[in-house]
Amino acid sequence: MDLVPTRLERIAAVVAVLAALLLVPAAALGSGITVVVLLFVAFTCGTVARARTGLDGLLTFGLRSVPEDDPRAERYRERREREDDRIREAVSFDYDPHLDRLLAIGLALLGIGALAALAVGPVDDPRLLLVALVALNAALIGYAASYVGSDSDD
């Protein structure tokens, strides 16, 4: 995969940022359909950009097309490869199932807490029931995934 973002990816990144910036004024003005459309545009364009387009790529290439043999593209590829190697060295990719189990415990506590708030308090918020449902199901899935992804028989 080429490390140089395509022109379409760079344009999509700029459009996503602009749509995200316009969300605040649209929400402040109370325009619901505009907020939904801007969210859709921001997420769609952000997906097209696929996080390959950073500020460095925009400043280096702008929004114009870049031929593959451009010296700036080669320097950009080398810089990105050095940065990726530095990140790979700094971050460990070893899987630890205990972290998934801790996450499952935290999610279970969140779900139980939401159910307890519904049962004990005078809160009639149906979103608490949704939080409990999602958190408890995510805890079960995370706990099961910790055993699927581990080689140990804990």
C-alpha distance from residue 64 to each of 7, 19, 59, 60, 82 (Å): 6, 21, 11, 10, 25
Question: In the prediction, which pLDDT does 152 show?
Answer: 56
Question: In the prediction, which pLDDT does 1 show?
Answer: 55
DSSP character at residue 51? T
Do the beta carbons of residue 74 and residue 44 sit within 8 Å? no
Q: Which of 17-31, 82-96, 118-132 has the highest mean pLDDT?
A: 17-31
Question: In the prediction, which pLDDT does 150 show?
Answer: 62
Query: What does the mean pLDDT of the chain come to?
Result: 83
Is residue 139 over pLDDT 90?
Answer: yes
Question: Which has more confidence, 70 or 50?
Answer: 70
Domain ranges of the chain: 7-90, 97-148
Amino acid at site 28: A
Structure tokens at 30: 């109370």
% of the chain beyond a pLDDT of 70: 92
Is residue 153 over pLDDT 60?
Answer: no
